[in-house]
Amino acid sequence: MTAVVEKQQPLWFLANLATIKVDGDDTGGAWSLVELVGARGDMPPLHVHDHEEAFYVLEGRLTLFLPGEELAVEAGGCVVAPRDVPHVYRVDSDVARWLAIASPAGFERFVLEVAEPAEEPTLPPLPPAVDPARVTEIAAGHGIQILGPPGALPA
C-alpha cells in the first residue's frame, strides 16, 4: 500500500531519510529532486535505471561506483550516474546529505511507493524493515532494475 504524503514530509526510505523537494508534477515530468540523508556505510542494492541521476552532496562524502570507476564526491561536489549504467553509491562519512536529481522524473515515485512517513525527521531505525523482493518488484515498475544486494559493486 502506498502511503499518502505531503510534499516536504520526511520519509523513511530504505536506510535513508528522504524528502521530496520537487516532483515530476512540478516539472511536467522533466526532472525530480529528492533530498537524502544516510549513515556511514549505507549502500543501496546494485541497480541500473532508465533515467539520468545526479548526486549533489550537501554534507559529508559519497563514493559512486560505476563499472571500472570509483568517483568520490564531497560537500559541494556533484557526480552523475548515466542512464542504463549499473551503479551504486556508498556513504563514506559519518553522515552524508545529498540531492538526487533524476531526469526524467520518476525516482520520486519509487521513493514514495517504498518509503513510509518518518515518525521524526531522523534516520530510520536499523535495520530497515524492507522486503527485498517487494523493493525489486516496485523498482521494476519505475524503470529501475535491481542487479545485486546492498554491497555488490558493478563489474
pLDDT in tens, 94-130: 999 999 999 999 999 999 999 999 989 999 987 677 8
Q: Domains of the chain (ranges plus CATH)?
A: 11-146 (2.60.120.10)
Task: Say how far apart CA 97 and CA 148 lie, in whole Å.
Answer: 24
**53 — phi, psi (to 5°)?**
-140, 125
pLDDT tier for residue 53 given thresholds of 50, 70 and 90: very high
pLDDT tier for residue 6 given thresholds of 50, 70 and 90: low
E strand intervals along 50-94: 52-59, 61-66, 69-74, 78-81, 88-91
- 3-class SS of residue 49: strand
- CA diameter of the chain: 40
**66 — phi, psi (to 5°)?**
-120, 165
Residue-wise pLDDT for 15-43, tens only, equals 999 999 999 999 999 999 999 999 999 99
